[in-house]
């Protein structure tokens, strides 16, 4: 297939997104933008989808649909990344040995070294498949029961599983493993192709 055909297919599959205001804001739903969704046929075929992160600010998350599943794309802060290196005691699978993720995401940020702030993960709880809520800080309706030392992460409203900002599940939760990370690669600094492997070299 020629490069032109590939490019034109990809343009059709752009699946960007709506931004969730996070820092200092209350919880906001994370809707899909239906009009930008890839076609059902393309999704069923597992076609990769593009995510434009050019406008994504620190603390914000967008949701992209890939293979019928929500994929969270989150931009974290330097402070978040420091927490992710030190929150290991409370996690069930710190290095994601039992969790689904590409080898190029084997680090505390679970992301590309060059783009450590950007996290890409499936928004599907590994217990029974609910969509965990993004709870970036305590200024959030879901944060009430999480304790004063909550440093941000995800809360599953179905049975209470907690994940950190890399999608790593806390110990003793109903969810057994971390949020899965799909294959993905950078087309440029601001465009991610979800559904196709890259390399962290
Ligand atoms: S589905 Fe998430 S905790 Fe049960």
Condensed to tens digits (0 to 9), the pLDDT of residues 89-129 reads 999 999 999 999 999 999 999 999 999 999 999 999 999 99
Q: Which atom of ligand 1 is nearest to the CA of 125?
A: 2
pLDDT in tens, 160-199: 999 999 999 999 999 999 999 999 999 999 999 999 998 8
CATH of 3-194, one of 3.90.1150.10, 3.40.50.720, 1.10.260.40, 2.102.10.10: 2.102.10.10
Ligand 1 binding pocket includes 82 (Cβ within 6 Å): no
Give CA–CA dist 157/114, Å, rounded.
33
**What integer best gives the mean pLDDT of the chain?**
83
C-alpha 9 to ligand 1 mean position (Å)? 36
Ligand 1 binding pocket includes 133 (Cβ within 6 Å): no
Q: What number is the average pLDDT over the span 51-61?
A: 97
Give CA–CA dist 18/93, Å, rounded.
30
Give CA–CA dist 110/165, Å, rounded.
10
Give CA–CA dist 80/134, Å, rounded.
14
SS3 string, 74-119, reads: EECCHHHHHHHHHCHHHECCCCCCCCCCCHHHCCCCCCCHHHCCEE
Nearest CA to ligand 1 atom 3: 159
Every domain of the chain and the residues it spans: 3-194
Q: Which atom of ligand 1 is nearest to the CA of 156?
A: 2
Pocket test for ligand 1, best of 132, 145, 154, 156 (most atoms within 8 A of CB): 156
Pocket test for ligand 1, best of 175, 178, 179, 180 (most atoms within 8 A of CB): 175
Ligand 1 binding pocket includes 157 (Cβ within 6 Å): no
- The model's confidence at residue 147, banded by pLDDT at 50, 70 and 90, is confident
- The model's confidence at residue 11, banded by pLDDT at 50, 70 and 90, is very low
Q: Which residue has the higher pLDDT, 139 or 198?
A: 198
Is 159 noted as a catalytic residue in this protein? yes
Pocket test for ligand 1, best of 127, 131, 176 (most atoms within 8 A of CB): 127
Q: Which residue has the higher pLDDT, 16 or 111?
A: 111
Q: Picking from 36-50, 110-124, 147-161, which range would have the lowest pLDDT averaged per residue?
A: 36-50
pLDDT at 145: 73
Q: Is the pLDDT of residue 33 over 60?
A: no
**0.85 surpassed by pTM:** no
Ligand 1 binding pocket includes 105 (Cβ within 6 Å): no
Percentage of the chain lying above the pLDDT 90 cut? 67
Q: Which residue has the higher pLDDT, 28 or 149?
A: 149
Ligand 1 binding pocket includes 159 (Cβ within 6 Å): yes
pLDDT at 46: 77
């Amino acid at each position: 297939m020629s490069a032109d055909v590939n490019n034109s297919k990809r343009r059709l599959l752009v699946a960007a997104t709506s931004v969730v205001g996070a820092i200092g804001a209350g919880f906001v739903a994370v809707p899909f933008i239906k009009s930008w969704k890839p076609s059902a046929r393309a999704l069923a075929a597992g076609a990769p989808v593009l995510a434009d992160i050019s406008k994504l600010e620190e603390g914000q998350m967008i949701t992209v649909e890939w293979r019928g599943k929500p994929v969270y794309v989150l931009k974290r802060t330097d402070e978040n990344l420091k927490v992710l290196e030190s929150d290991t005691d409370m996690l069930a699978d710190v290095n994601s040995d039992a969790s689904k993720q590409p080898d190029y995401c084997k680090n505390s940020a679970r992301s590309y070294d060059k783009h450590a702030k950007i996290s890409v993960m499936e928004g599907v709880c590994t217990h029974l498949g609910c969509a965990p809520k993004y709870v970036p800080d305590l200024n959030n309706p879901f944060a009430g029961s999480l304790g004063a030392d909550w440093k941000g992460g995800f809360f599953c409203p179905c049975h209470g599983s907690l994940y950190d900002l890399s999608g790593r599940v806390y110990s003793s939760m109903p969810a057994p493993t971390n949020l899965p990370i799909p294959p993905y690669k950078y087309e440029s600094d601001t465009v991610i192709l979800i559904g196709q492997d890259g390399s962290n070299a």
